[in-house]
Structure 1
Amino acid sequence: MAVRHEVENLIRRGNIFYWRPRIPAAFVHCRPGSRLSLSLHCSDHRKAQIIGRRLNTRLAELKMNSKDAMTTKQQLQILFEHERDKELERLDDVSTMAKRNGRGGDVVEMELDLEAGWAYQLLAKFGTRSDLSLEVDCPGLTYLLKNGVPASHVDAIRANYQGELTTARDARANGGIAATASRL
């Protein structure tokens, strides 16, 4: 029996995690109520949560973009397989670098990791279409302070956020739909 795990659309069958979202009605070429089913090729809960969140965010971005609503179920499946593979590769690279260079007990490195993590949280919560300044009256700053982030870390989080936002908006990162459509 499939079990749900804190992240929307993430289930586990046996030792393997799957991502099974319902296809939004905005995709007019997909049958109403149909689902995608994608193996995440991992049994690690944390890794599956990261990939699941990334795929959920990508699905929401596609839903909001009206020209992507013409995508078929097969195109969505290929696109999300590509996204999954990119994220698995990125997580493997992070793991390799951590093993090679990491010092688990170093407080400075842990703070840097936390600052990068909060930048990713802002991207996940507010999306790539929002441009947060993290200045006074910014909802991103309010979110950080409400969650107990010290004000001394806001400048570093802002720098990480701006860098990741630029990467996310990069045409190469968002060219997945065009590449997928051209293969079909």
Structure 2
Amino acid sequence: MSNLERRGAVYYWRRRMPPQLARIAGQTHLKISLQTKEPAHARFLAAHLDATAAHVFMSADPRFITKEQLTELFRQVFEQHRNKVALMADFSRQEAGFDPALEPVDDQGMGWAYRAIAKNGVAARVGEGDRLAMTEAGIDAHGIASIELTLAAMQHTGVARPSRCAVSS
């Protein structure tokens, strides 16, 4: 996945900043440790950060944002999402009929849904390019349909909307 790199055993999210923000920040890339060694978890977190970056980079006025604000924004989004993921995992483990074998499949679906949102905005749909990438990643037609349902559910429930932190900055 783009913007994801592994240094040693830990994954990092690294994103090139638009030139106008790079001049203000004094650096060309943002880099955040995802604090995980698990590739699936790293992809999931990176997809959410990609979606936030797409929103911020398109809407932020570079004249009114500092390097510190930009860095803090992404750190807050990362922490919020990591806490949300942990809470959701705790809730799902307590439900009757919990199947640990299905959890990675659900996580993968959420990751692909966030990837579509990062690429195409909150009204994203799974397009042919997305289907091709999913097929190349080994996802069958049933899995792709499941990802489309996940994306629709995220949009319907408001999960796909930008975080308040991103909107208020």
Tell me the TM-score range normalised by the shorter chain: 0.5 to 0.7
Q: Is it true that 1:85 corresponds to 2:85 in the alignment?
A: no
- The number of residues matched between the two structures is 158
Residue number in structure 1 paired with 2:24: 29
Query: TM-score when scaled to structure 1?
Result: 0.63
CA distance in 2, matches of 1:19, 1:37: 6
Aligned-pair CA distance for 1:23: 2.0
Q: Is the 8 A contact 1:19 1:52 kept in 2?
A: yes
- Map 1:1-184; keep pairs closer than 5 Å: 7-27=1-21, 28-31=23-26, 33-67=27-61, 70-101=64-95, 102-104=98-100, 113=106, 117=110, 119-120=113-114, 122-128=116-122, 130=123, 140=126, 149=141, 156=149, 159-164=152-157, 166-169=158-161, 173-176=163-166, 178=168
Query: TM-score when scaled to structure 2?
Result: 0.68
For the structure 1 residues 85 and 175, does the alpha-carbon distance in structure 2 shift closer, same or farther, using more than 3 Å as the test? closer
Provide structure 2 residue ranges, at least 5 long, that are not aligned to the other structure. none
CA distance in 2, matches of 1:22, 1:156: 31
Q: Is the 8 A contact 1:119 1:158 kept in 2?
A: yes
Which protein has greater RCO, CA pairs closer than 8 Å, 6+ apart? 2
The amino acid of 1:40's aligned partner reads: L
Q: Is the 8 A contact 1:79 1:176 kept in 2?
A: yes
Q: For residue 11 of structure 1, give the secondary structure of its aligned residue in structure 2.
A: strand
What is the Cα-based RMSD across aligned positions, in Å?
3.6
Aligned-pair CA distance for 1:77: 0.9
Q: For residue 103 of structure 1, give the secondary structure of its aligned residue in structure 2.
A: coil
Structure of larger gyration radius: 1
Aligned-pair CA distance for 1:99: 2.3
Q: For residue 87 of structure 2, give the secondary structure of its aligned residue in structure 1.
A: helix
Aligned-pair CA distance for 1:89: 0.8
How high is the sequence identity, in percent, across the aligned residues? 22
Aligned-pair CA distance for 1:66: 4.4
CA distance in 1, matches of 2:104, 2:34: 27
